[in-house]
Amino acid sequence: MRKNSTKNNRINGEVARALSQIIRDVKDPRVGLMTSVKEVVVAPDLKTCKVFISVLGNKKECEDTMAGLNSAKGFIRRELARIVNLRNTPELTFILDDSIAYGVDMSRRIDEVIKTDMEGASGAEEAED
């Protein structure tokens, strides 16, 4: 099976949907309520799976959520095997995806630069008058 085949894309989507539901059901208090599955990449041989997780919160909440998910890995994998019928249930690897936080930070920086440029432009106009 090729990496970008239709079958692999469908498996990625189905596993992502199932993991989103399973993670909501994890009873570990370290796992934050605002935890979402951003992307799932299942290997073509169905042996491994990279799960990209996004957590809304500060750095400590992100670390706690990742620790909670890693400790509940066995439960999550067992529930995944029950929900999604695959030949092999992949070994899960959770990876923190901080692209949303990075995007928010870059947007804030752009807004600051635009504000500074506007203030500079209005100051230059006043100086000309």
With bands split at pLDDT 50, 70 and 90, how would you rate the model's confidence at 3?
low
Q: Where are the domains of the chain?
A: 6-97, 99-129
1 has a pLDDT exceeding 60: no
The one-letter amino acid at 115: K
CB 48 within 8 A of CB 14: no
43 has a pLDDT exceeding 80: yes
Angle separating helix axes 59-71 and 73-83, nearest 10 degrees: 60
Class of the CATH domain delimited by 6-97: alpha beta
55 has a pLDDT exceeding 70: yes
Over the stretch 96-129, which tens digit does the pLDDT of each residue have?
988 877 888 899 999 999 988 888 777 666 666 5
Q: How many CA atoms lie within 13 A of 106 on its CB side?
A: 6
